Homo-oligomer: A and B are copies of this chain.
Amino acid sequence: MSSDSDLTARARIRDAAIALFTERGIAGATIRDIAQAAGVSSGLLRHHFGSKEGLRDACDEFALARITQLQMAFTESQALGGALAPDAMALQQYLVRSLMDGSPRGQAMFAAAVQGGERWLAGTKLETDDPRAFVAVLGAMKLGMFLMRDQLTAALGEDVGELPGYVRMIRASLEIFSQPLLTPEQAEQGMKALDRLRDSSTGEKGPWRMPSMPED
């Protein structure tokens, strides 16, 4: 994601595609709009990427490689989180959006992240009966932070893709993950409610509400 206009046309197309795919979804962004945003003809887009699917795949590959590269450059410490600098926020957001729209590369990435997460989990003292579910759900939650960029931006009053807002967001996630949000009583109460729900299987599945923020 370079800002200059003296880039290869191919790179400009790719950047514009990532931006529009992120903003409108894969189906919502058109070849013509992407080409126009990149300042080229739609034919050139086709010349370089073959098809819309080819363009999307190239974007996936680029985003994945670039994020990996940014990660490689900085391996300060290891624990939990997986967020990158604001520069990579847009790439992350695109990748997760593409994942939601059925990207094969994205699915493979998520699966690999879950596998790696299980290894990470094994090295910690965290308690869980279901390591796979633990890391998968945790991963899904973290990705939610990127998918909800627009909503977080609205709630915080500043773009979480820019430095100040980004710092607030990551700081909040650190606070969230560094303390138990549920008391042991609340957790146990929730577990019991889950057991009740599970044991009523094949029976009537009445709605059930997890101990929770009152309104969502």
Contacts and interface: CB of A to CB of B under 8 A. Distances in A.
Interface string A177-203: 111111110110111011001100100
A101 B25 contact: yes
Given A73-B207, A164-B198, A176-B138, A181 B80 contact: yes
B198 A163 contact: yes
> Helix, strand, loop or mixed for chain A's interface?
helix
Contact of A208 (B84, B120, B127, B182): B84
Given A155-B111, A172-B130, A210 B81 contact: yes
B147 A76 contact: no
Nearest to A27: B28
Given A205-B86, A214-B116, A172 B137 contact: yes
Contacts of A133: 155-156, 168-169, 171-172
A162 to B, nearest CB: 10
A215 B128 contact: no
A42 interface: no
A154 to B, nearest CB: 7
B179 A127 contact: yes
A39 to B, nearest CB: 24
Interface in A123-165: 126-130, 132-145, 147-148, 151-152, 154-156, 163-164
B180 A180 contact: yes
A186 B178 CA distance: 9
A71 interface: yes
Given A138-B176, A156-B136, A164-B198, A110 B215 contact: no
A142 B139 contact: no
| 6 shortest interchain CB distances as A-B pairs | A144-B144, A79-B211, A140-B148, A81-B210, A27-B28, A178-B187
Interface of A: 24-28, 70-71, 73-88, 97, 99-101, 107, 109-114, 116-117, 119-120, 126-130, 132-145, 147-148, 151-152, 154-156, 163-164, 167-184, 186-187, 189-191, 193-194, 197-198, 201, 205-216
